[in-house]
């Protein structure tokens, strides 16, 4: 059961990164993301940085699914989410989907990512 849950959570976490990167940013289906980046970095750079961040999120999803250095991946995810949400919390809370409450959802996502790799994964028997 733990193995299946770990796999399912990996796919769900990767899906969050993929959807946010591809659909919200690269394909610009959620213009709010470009508005957030424009407010923080300047409108003249918003489009290019939005797409670059989106591509980075797609790469993150691919890294998660690859299984390469999963613990490093989790640490990077946690730092990226924490930094990104801290900046948004203080600079553009009015543009966030749930305002400052976004920070709570980000924290929950961080806990799920942490649990999946550092708690749940320890309970899975390692195959040699």
* Segment 74-93, tens digit of pLDDT: 999 999 999 999 999 999 99
Residue 63 · residue 56 · CB < 8 Å: no
Distance CA 49, CA 112 (A): 27
> Which backbone phi and psi does 69 adopt, to 5 degrees?
45, 60
Statement: residue 126 has pLDDT above 80? no
Locus of tokens 């309970």: 123
pTM equals 0.91
Statement: residue 128 has pLDDT above 50? no
- pLDDT tens across 96-125, in order? 999 999 999 999 999 999 999 999 866 655
Hey, what are 80's tokens? 């990226």
């Amino acid at each position: 059961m733990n193995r299946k849950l770990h796999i399912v959570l990996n796919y769900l976490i990767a899906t969050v990164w993929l959807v946010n990167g591809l659909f919200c940013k690269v394909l610009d289906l959620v213009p709010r993301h470009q508005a957030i980046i424009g407010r923080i970095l300047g409108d003249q750079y918003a489009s290019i940085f939005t797409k670059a961040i989106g591509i980075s999120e797609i790469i993150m999803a691919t890294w998660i699914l690859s299984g390469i250095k999963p613990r490093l991946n989790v640490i990077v995810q946690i730092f990226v989410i924490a930094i990104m949400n801290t900046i948004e919390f203080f600079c553009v809370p009015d543009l966030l989907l749930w305002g400052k409450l976004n920070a709570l959802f980000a924290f929950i996502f961080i806990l799920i990512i942490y649990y999946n790799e550092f708690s749940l994964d320890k309970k899975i028997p390692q195959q040699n």
